[in-house]
Structure 1
């Protein structure tokens, strides 16, 4: 699934064999292949709103100068 959040585009893939685990590839980001993983416990799936919230949380951590999560 393609997810557009705050002007950024992510390809979100539900990880096969792992209940409630999603891999986010930051397609519009400055670093090819960079992204993150999010998971939900106690449920089989994350709702779209939860996926969007996860992407926003990731973006808040990214250092604009490097395009990577900062220290």
Structure 2
């Protein structure tokens, strides 16, 4: 896993990076008051991703797990979430 800016300066506590790389896929993370938007930068559909809340206290590992869950639900033929 690669991250950018994994520390928030409060003694080394990890926080969500601006860009998170999980299993070779890059996601931009944007914090909101109610959660986080995850935009799939290397996906086949520009601007596609997901949002989650609450996420204020999640570690990088927890953000990584959320991205992996999202990727596991993607239909490889379409690049979108698979229909149930």
Normalising by structure 2, report the TM-score. 0.74
Which of 50, 58, 64 is 2:70 aligned to?
Answer: 58
The ranges of structure 1 where at least 4 consecutive aligned residues each deviate by more than 4 angstroms after the TM superposition are none
1:4-19 pair list within 5 angstroms: 4-15=21-32, 17-18=33-34
User: Which whole-Å deviations, capped at 9, do the CAs of 1:22-64 have from their partners, x for residues lacking one?
Assistant: 1000000000010001123xx7321111100000000000000
Tell me the SS of whatever aligns to 2:50.
strand
For the residue of structure 2 that corresponds to 1:51, the secondary structure is helix
Length-normalised TM-score, structure 1: 0.86
Other structure's SS at 1:4 match = strand
Residue 28 of structure 1 corresponds to 42
Q: By percentage of residues, which structure has more helix? A: 1
Higher Cα Rg, which structure? 2
Aligned residues: 66
Counterpart for residue 69 of structure 1: 81
User: What is the CA distance between 1:8 and its match in structure 2?
Assistant: 0.2
